[in-house]
């Protein structure tokens, strides 16, 4: 079932006869995969067809143009069992987009309390300290490091806690103590040396903000960021109360199965705890854009907004990924991935344009990539053009030697399962990825239609020893 709910501002409605007027629903009628196969004609699909193919029950999209939200589009179901539809007001978990909002809250406190971005965080933390590490004298962990994922801290992501299970305190999460299901947050790379994504590092920011303000993180962010930005539907409440949960999209796995008990609870609020809507995310992005332009100052000063979109030692900004990867910064963005939810926020530095996309499925990432590809040309956004790859033919023996289980420590300790289906490989990471198809580009090199590269590694004797997927390595189980 597909329901399109349009909400268009008065200024956009007045421009309806203008040939340049944006029409989101029309653009999404011709979706194609992120990768096109050389020699093959790309197959196009409608949004409804893609949602059905990828088993994404619902999606909510909002479009920002010249500083105004000009369109919202809601499609599908937030609760298929009861036939409840997604609307522009439906709440979704934002996943790691929470980090961008949390870091803006941190920067707001830098301005309000005079916190030093480059001071050791242990001088500001009261209830816990960053554990001793080899570089603490020469390179102590700072807020700048934590906000730009260059602190060298561990724990990339969090699984959340299923309904009915014990939820740890913030201190238990940082210590990796029961009932926490994540490892202790420690430093294993020299701070400031380079990029290492760390939800654990963002969790340190959460604790620090509570320590310096004396206010619970969710309450502080509500006062200092969400409310001033006009994010009236948004909250860091975890778990979501019954009344608000009734308005939320329920989460689903990539195979179409509902997550038992509904949304996971994330005590790691700064890293993964935000509930929001696509439109509220654009209201947040608009505040950054306004501050950068010097138009108004509700959350951040122009100077602090500029800090947020200035490339740091690891290549990121403070709280944001910056595009393009090198050179002048044209955009700030962040993606999100909680259990059963995938989301994306993208905004331009100039021009006041952007998009927010929220889904209630682990396979939402597939849909998001195609939506971004369809919308980007109408704004001139770079980096979203389809990629053409050449597919080779491997025989059954060549494929079967790659089949097996591989052990990875990211995003948590898990087993990467590689199976064969006819002329392609299927890769599954339980609770994270479900049967992602990979096509061969060579005997050891594969690609997915969403442009993920998969490479297999061999030992001296030519045996398969491991694999690399999006920069993450996994070792073959029998070799451990």
159-169 pLDDT, tens digit per residue, is 999 999 999 99
Which pLDDT does position 162 carry in this prediction? 97
* pLDDT band (50, 70, 90) for residue 414: confident
* pLDDT band (50, 70, 90) for residue 430: confident
Which pLDDT does position 21 carry in this prediction? 40
- The β-bridge relationship of strands 387-389 and 35-37 is parallel
Residue 149 resides in a domain:
yes
User: Phi/psi at 385 (nearest 5 deg)?
Assistant: -65, 145
pLDDT at 5 over 60: no
Are 294 and 207 found together in one domain?
yes
Cβ atoms of 205 and 146 within 8 Å: the answer is yes
Tell me the pLDDT tens digit for each residue of 181-227.
999 999 999 999 999 999 999 999 999 999 999 999 999 999 999 99
Tell me the pLDDT tens digit for each residue of 14-66.
333 333 346 899 999 999 999 999 999 999 999 999 999 999 999 999 999 99
Most confident listed range (201-205, 325-329, 475-479):
201-205
Here the CATH number for the domain that contains residue 411 is: 2.40.128.50
Residue 42 resides in a domain:
no
Are 311 and 418 found together in one domain?
no
| Residue where one domain finishes, among candidates 353, 379, 405 | 379
Which pLDDT does position 478 carry in this prediction? 63
Residue 40 resides in a domain:
no
Q: What percent of the chain has pLDDT over 70?
A: 94
Tell me the pLDDT tens digit for each residue of 221-266.
999 999 999 999 999 999 999 889 999 999 999 889 999 999 999 9
Are 402 and 373 found together in one domain?
no
DSSP classification of residue 252: B
Helix axes 47-54, 364-379, angle to 10 degrees: 150
* pLDDT band (50, 70, 90) for residue 480: very low
Here the CATH number for the domain that contains residue 97 is: 3.40.710.10
Residue 48 resides in a domain:
no
Tell me how far apart the alpha carbons of residues 113 and 211 are, in angstroms, rounded to a whole number. 12
The radius of gyration of the chain from alpha carbons, rounded to an integer in Å, stands at 22
Residue 16 resides in a domain:
no
- The β-bridge relationship of strands 445-447 and 433-440 is antiparallel
Reference 389, options 311, 447, 319, 456; nearest CA is 447
pLDDT at 328 over 50: yes
Which pLDDT does position 20 carry in this prediction? 36
Residue 359 resides in a domain:
yes
Residue 41 resides in a domain:
no
Are 258 and 141 found together in one domain?
yes
pLDDT at 133 over 60: yes
Are 275 and 248 found together in one domain?
yes
Are 251 and 134 found together in one domain?
yes
Are 365 and 410 found together in one domain?
no
Tell me the pLDDT tens digit for each residue of 388-409.
999 999 999 999 999 999 998 7
Higher pLDDT, 353 or 15: 353
Residue 31 resides in a domain:
no
Tell me the pLDDT tens digit for each residue of 65-81.
999 999 999 999 999 99
Cβ atoms of 403 and 420 within 8 Å: the answer is yes
- CB atoms inside a 10 Å sphere around CB 385: 12
Q: Give Cβ neighbours of residue 457 (< 8 Å, ≥ 6 apart).
A: 444, 464, 465, 466, 467, 468, 473
Q: How many domains does the chain have?
A: 2
Q: What share of the chain is helix, strand, coil (3-state, %, to 5)?
A: 25, 25, 50
* pLDDT band (50, 70, 90) for residue 460: confident
| Residue where one domain finishes, among candidates 348, 379, 410 | 379
- The number of CA neighbours under 13 Å toward the Cβ of 327 is 4
Q: Which structural domain range is residue 259 located in? A: 92-379
Q: Give Cβ neighbours of residue 205 (< 8 Å, ≥ 6 apart).
A: 102, 103, 106, 143, 146, 147, 270
pLDDT at 157 over 80: yes
């Amino acid at each position: 079932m597909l329901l399109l709910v349009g909400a268009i501002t008065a200024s956009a409605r007045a421009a309806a006869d203008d040939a340049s007027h944006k029409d989101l629903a029309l653009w999404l009628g011709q979706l194609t995969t992120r990768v096109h196969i050389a020699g093959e004609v790309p197959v196009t699909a409608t949004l409804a067809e893609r949602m059905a193919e990828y088993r994404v029950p619902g999606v909510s999209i909002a479009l920002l143009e010249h500083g105004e939200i000009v369109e919202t589009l809601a499609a599908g179901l937030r609760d298929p069992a009861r036939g409840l539809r997604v609307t522009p007001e439906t709440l979704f978990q934002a996943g790691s987009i929470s980090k961008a909002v949390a870091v803006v809250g941190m920067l707001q406190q830098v301005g309000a309390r005079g916190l030093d971005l480059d001071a050791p965080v242990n001088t500001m933390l009261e209830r816990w300290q960053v554990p001793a590490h080899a570089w603490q004298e020469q390179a102590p962990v700072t807020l700048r490091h934590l906000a730009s994922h260059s602190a060298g801290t561990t724990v990339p992501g969090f699984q959340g806690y299923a309904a009915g299970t014990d939820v740890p305190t913030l201190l238990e999460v940082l210590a990796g103590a029961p009932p926490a299901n994540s490892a202790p947050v420690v430093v294993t790379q020299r701070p400031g040396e380079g990029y290492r994504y760390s939800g654990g590092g963002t969790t340190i920011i959460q604790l620090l903000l509570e320590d310096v303000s004396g206010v619970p993180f969710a309450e502080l962010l509500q006062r200092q960021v969400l409310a001033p930005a006009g994010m009236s539907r948004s909250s860091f409440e975890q778990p979501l109360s019954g009344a608000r949960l009734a308005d939320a999209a329920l989460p689903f796995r990539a195979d179409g199965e509902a997550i038992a008990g509904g949304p996971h609870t994330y005590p790691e609020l700064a890293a993964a705890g935000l509930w929001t809507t696509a439109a509220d995310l654009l209201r947040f992005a608009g505040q950054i854009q306004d501050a950068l332009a010097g138009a108004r100052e509700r959350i951040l000063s122009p100077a602090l907004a500029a800090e947020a979109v200035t490339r740091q030692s690891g290549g990121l900004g403070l709280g944001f990924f910056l595009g393009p990867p090198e050179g002048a910064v044209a955009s700030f963005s962040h993606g999100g991935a909680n259990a059963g939810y995938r989301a994306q926020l993208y905004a331009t530095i100039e021009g006041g344009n952007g998009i927010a996309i929220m889904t209630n499925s682990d396979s939402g990432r597939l849909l998001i990539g195609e939506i971004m590809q369809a919308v980007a040309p109408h704004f001139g956004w770079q980096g979203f053009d389809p990629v053409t790859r050449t597919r080779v033919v491997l025989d059954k023996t060549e494929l079967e030697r790659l089949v097996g289980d591989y052990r990875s420590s990211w995003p948590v300790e898990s087993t990467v399962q590689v199976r064969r289906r006819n002329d392609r490989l299927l890769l599954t990471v339980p609770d994270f990825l479900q049967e992602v198809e990979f096509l061969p580009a060579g005997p050891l090199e594969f690609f997915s239609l969403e442009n993920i590269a998969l490479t297999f590694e061999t030992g001296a004797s030519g045996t398969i020893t491991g694999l690399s997927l999006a920069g993450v390595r996994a070792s073959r189980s029998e070799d451990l």
